Amino acid sequence: MCHMPSQAEALTNFVYVHPSDMFSVYVKIHDYVYMCAPHSSVNRGNIALNAVQRRNGKSFSGDVIEVQGYDASGYTRYIDLSVEPVRGDEDFLHAPQVVSDMFQRHFNGQIFKNNQKITMMCGNQMLLFTVLDVGRGRISNTTSIDLQVIPILT
């Protein structure tokens, strides 16, 4: 397992492999399912996970991990999330529907499980989402998204 090729890839919640190692669009790692994409910057035999993905699986760069193909079928009707700013200001607190819509577009087709953590940029704000409850299947444009905003305590 290795680091992401760049911050741009890290924010997709995809995992990346060398093009010759690509074997499935969806892969299961540490009981989490991720969309997988080829990237020429990843060495053969490696898989690139971002810091949050590694933390979800309690693993470190350089660890050997098991990667299985996953057959993703169906769409989830709902996902309940908490969201908190990691860096940037708290302007998003005033527009949770905008954040919800961005999440839906950004992670369309992805699969999540309870307690999974995910990051996303919203303007100049890095947001950390935690999945509180989710139905079975992929996120779609019809998935109902409920956000619980956690403000920064000062």
CATH code assigned at 85: 3.10.330.10
Q: Are residues 93 and 141 in the same domain?
A: yes
Which pLDDT belongs to residue 85? 86
Question: 9 to each of 37, 91, 96, how far by Cα in Å?
Answer: 10, 25, 24
Q: Are residues 61 and 106 in the same domain?
A: no
| Residue 54 and residue 62 in contact, taking contact as beta carbons nearer than 8 Å | no
Structural domain range at position 56? 7-69
Q: Are residues 59 and 102 in the same domain?
A: no
| Residue 56 forms part of a structural domain | yes
pLDDT, tens digit, for every residue of 96-129? Answer: 888 999 999 999 999 999 999 999 988 888 899 9
Report the SS3 class of residue 51.
helix
Which pLDDT belongs to residue 109? 97
Give the total number of structural domains in the chain. 2
This prediction has a pTM of 0.87
